[in-house]
Chain A
Amino acid sequence: MKVVAINGSPKKEGNTYHALRMVGAQLEENGIDFEIIHIGNKAVRGCLACNNCGKNKDEIAMIGIKY
């Protein structure tokens, strides 16, 4: 089993990261894989509500490369 954590802080190892490590430590102790994905320092544009992700069943729109 696996848990992914989205770190929405622009800072890589700020207090949001530390909070996630505390949660992750318990998950790992219970044998669950834990991975932090750092999003807060990426260039992600606001959703344009174009619905192209819906029409094209396009998952890459999550990070906004195409739209």
Chain B
Amino acid sequence: MKNADGIILASPVYYAGIAGTMKCFLDRAFYVAGSNGGLFRHKVGAAVVAVRRTGGSVTFDSLNHYLTHSEMILATSNYWNIIHGRTPGEAEQDLEGAQIMSVLGNTMAWLLKMREQTKDTLLAPVAVKKVMTSFIR
């Protein structure tokens, strides 16, 4: 993840949320990234969700919380990045879901190329020291 130019976070939906192990991993990974000087800063990120019935957009939002907390560049598609299916591989039959994933891949590739081609000509914002309060102090 540290050496990648882009990161995709993908989870199935468990009780309308991120699957447990994935949640544990993301809490750890993004805490570590933050406390080591922002390891994921300005990488291109995207969230992907596979769901049987409902809870897809809640899980998608939850995954995006990690990306948008880390100054990442968010790749998007023509809908929220959610695909439907029950048995393994059934998602292939979700034609709209498949298109969403395909458009996401192309947009992500374009953002990565844009980032690469402008790295010497367009300076990225300098990192700031994070202000941490509990609203009152």
Interface residues in chain A, defined as those with a beta carbon under 8 Å from any beta carbon in chain B: 1-11, 13-20, 22-27, 29-32, 37, 39-47, 51, 53-54, 57-59, 61-64
Contact = CB atoms under 8 A, between A and B. Distances in A.
Contact of A26 (B28, B90, B105): B105
B24 interface: yes
Interface of B: 1-12, 18-19, 21-29, 31-32, 35-36, 39, 44, 46, 48-50, 81, 83, 85-86, 88-92, 97-98, 101-102, 104-106, 108-110, 112-113, 116
Contacts of B2: 59
Given A1-B5, A23-B46, 18 more contacts: A2-B3, A3-B4, A5-B48, A8-B21, A8-B25, A9-B11, A9-B22, A15-B85, A16-B11, A16-B49, A19-B50, A23-B101, A23-B102, A24-B105, A26-B104, A30-B105, A40-B19, A46-B23
